[in-house]
Amino acid sequence: MAVLNVTPDSFSDGGVALGVDGSPLRAVERGLALAAAGADCVDVGGESTRPGAAPVPVATEFERVVPVVTGLAAEGVLVSVDTRHAAVARAALAAGAVIVNDVGALTPDDGMLETVAEAGAGYVVMHLRGKPRTMQDAPRFSDVVGDVERELIGARDAAVAAGIAHDAVALDPGIGFGKTLVHNLALLAAVPRLAGLGHPLLVGTSRKAFIGHLTGVDVPAQRVAGSLASAVLAARDGARILRVHDVAATVEALAVQAAIDAAPREGA
C-alpha cells in the first residue's frame, strides 16, 4: 500500500504531491508512479494525522481527496482512502475508492461503518486511542499488545455488527499513534500474534519517528533503510499489507526476503 498524502503538512512528504496551483493532476501522476513501482494499492489521504496535527475542515479534506481518487480509479488503480470522516469516505467510495483506511476506527465517525457496509468496501481498522492532536501526551497501556489486540477486536466486532463483511476487515496496530518507542517495538515484536487474529494485518512503520529515534536519522525522507528493515521483518512475521512511502525500495527488499524464504532449508 503506497502512501499518497494530498496534504501540505504530512510529517514526511507534506506538499510533495500537491501542485503549486492545488491541481490534482500532479497527485494523480504521483499515484500512478507509485502503482507502476509495484504498489498494489494507493492510499490517498487529505488530512495529516501526525502527532499534534490540527484537524482539517471536512470540506477541505474532501476537495483534496476526491479529484485524486477519481483520477486514479479512472486509470484502474486500486484506491483506498485514508480518512476518519464518513462524508469523505462516502464521496471517495462514490469516486471509485474500494477500501476505507480509518485511523479513527476505535471511535468511528457517525455513519462511517454504515457507509463502508453499504458500499461493500474493505475496511482498515487502525488502533488509535484519542485524537492525533493529543495522542502522544503520555500514552499508557497496562499491557500494550493485549490492550491493542482487545481494542482492535472490539472495533472489528462493531464493524461486523454494522454490516461490514468479516473478510473485508484488515487490522492495524497503529504504529506511532499514541505509542512510545517501547510500545511500538512491543507491537512490532508481536506481529506474529497480531497476524493470527483472523484478518490481514496492515503495518505502517514507513519513515516514522521511532525509526528516527533508533537510527538517529532526523529527516523523515531519509529514514528509508530503517523503514525497509521494519517492513521486511513485519512481512516475514506475517503482515500482509505494508503501508509505505518508498515503494520501489520496499518491493526490492521484499523480493529478496521472499527468495530467501523460498530457498530450501538446511536439514529440511
Q: Which residues bind ligand HH2 (CB under 6 A)?
A: 3, 5, 7, 10-12, 45, 48-50, 82, 101, 103, 124, 126, 172, 174-175, 202, 204, 243
Q: Are 210 and 176 in contact (CB under 8 A)?
A: yes
> For residue 93, what are the contacts with CB-CB under 8 A and spacing of at least 6?
81, 100, 115, 116, 119, 121
Among the listed residues 153, 136, 137, the one whose alpha carbon sits nearest the alpha carbon of residue 145: 153
User: Which residues are paired to 82 by β-bridges?
Assistant: 45, 101
Nearest approach in angstroms of CB 262 to ligand HH2 is: 28
Residue 38 or 51 with smaller CB distance to ligand HH2: 51
Residue 11 or 141 with smaller CB distance to ligand HH2: 11
Residue nearest to ligand HH2 (CB): 204
Q: Is 179 a catalytic residue?
A: no
Nearest approach in angstroms of CB 86 to ligand HH2 is: 17
Nearest approach in angstroms of CB 175 to ligand HH2 is: 5
Q: Are 95 and 69 in contact (CB under 8 A)?
A: yes
Residue 148 or 266 with smaller CB distance to ligand HH2: 148
Residue 112, number of CB atoms within 10 A of its CB: 26
Residue 73 or 211 with smaller CB distance to ligand HH2: 211
Nearest approach in angstroms of CB 73 to ligand HH2 is: 19
Spatial distance between the Cα atoms of 36 and 71, rounded to a whole number of angstroms: 15
Spatial distance between the Cα atoms of 104 and 127, rounded to a whole number of angstroms: 8
Q: Is 131 a catalytic residue?
A: no
* Measured CA distances, 66 to 40, 60, 61, 62, 95 (Å): 20, 10, 8, 6, 7
Catalytic residue among 84, 179, 207, 208: 208
Active site residues: 208, 243
